[in-house]
Amino acid sequence: MTDRTRDGHTGAETAAWGEIDRVWADVLGETDRTVFEAAGWGRRAGFGRRPALMVVDVNYNFCGDRPEPVLESIERWRYSCGEVAWTTAIPSIVRLLEVARRKRLPVIYTTNPRRPDGFDLGVWTAKSTRSDETVDVNGHLGNQIVAEVAPEADDILIEKRKPSAFFGTPLMSHLTMLGADSLIITGTTTSGCVRASVVDAISYDLRVTVPHEAVFDRAVLSHKVSLMDIHMKYADVTGLDEVLSHLEGLREGLFDEVYPPAAARARSGSGSGSE
């Protein structure tokens, strides 16, 4: 059943405690649940009308170069989240990309290269005993988006140096130019760069939806608690199928007048940037 939020945006339900609660039910105690319910948190905000799809840091640093247990992957890729990236998130992002490109929606990627001396990351480097490893230095394979979800020539690529995709980047300027009112955010880590980007997005009054199958983290607890907190206070955490259904319901070409690559795909009769 589809409800509308008070300003007319659509959402599957306005109550906090629905099917999605099962994602974090095993880490949310009864007292904490009661507190959120009593305070009224978790109401669905609904989808926006002009969404862009964002893929946060789905590079080899965070995925590793193949599906393998996280502790094995971390031996070579210190940021790695292990096989969950390959078994769940990447296949989900592939499905979202197919629909978004067919609808000619903007697709935005982030990655996070650094200088060899790490100066541009600032004090962030102080939080790891392995920060001198070179997997995230500019030009390293680790900064490349994994091939399965690689950007196409006309997608938007944001190189960032801090957790949020917005901090110190032209992202908000691009979204303003596009007239986008919302983001579908995917990627990693749920507790780090995804959460930071969600909070900054809603701080700019963008509606945000996070399909839980399309985000991932190296720690299960961090992933679940972050999804719960995002859903309670900032954005809508939903299932992948709901997001796909919403995107399928959008008319093609919402951005053709303001985004030249979309207009070019329309003229060519292609839903993809590939020729």
Question: Which residues does the annotation mark as catalytic?
Answer: 193
**And the tokens for 86?**
């390959």
Q: Give SS3 for 183.
A: strand
The angle subtended at Cα 208 by Cα 249 and Cα 35, nearest 5°, is: 120
In whole angstroms, what is the distance from residue 169 CA to residue 165 CA?
7
**Secondary structure (DSSP) of 24-78:** TGGGS-HHHHHHHHHHTTT------SSEEEEEE--BHHHH-SS---HHHHHHH-T
Question: Please, what's the b/e burial string for 154-193 (b: 16 or more CB within 10 A of its CB; e: otherwise)?
Answer: bbbebebbbbbbbeebebbebbeebebbbbbbbbbbbbbb
Q: Are 87 and 67 in contact (CB under 8 A)?
A: yes
Gap between the Cα atoms of 189 and 221, Å rounded: 12
What is the C-alpha separation between 219 and 210, in angstroms, rounded? 18
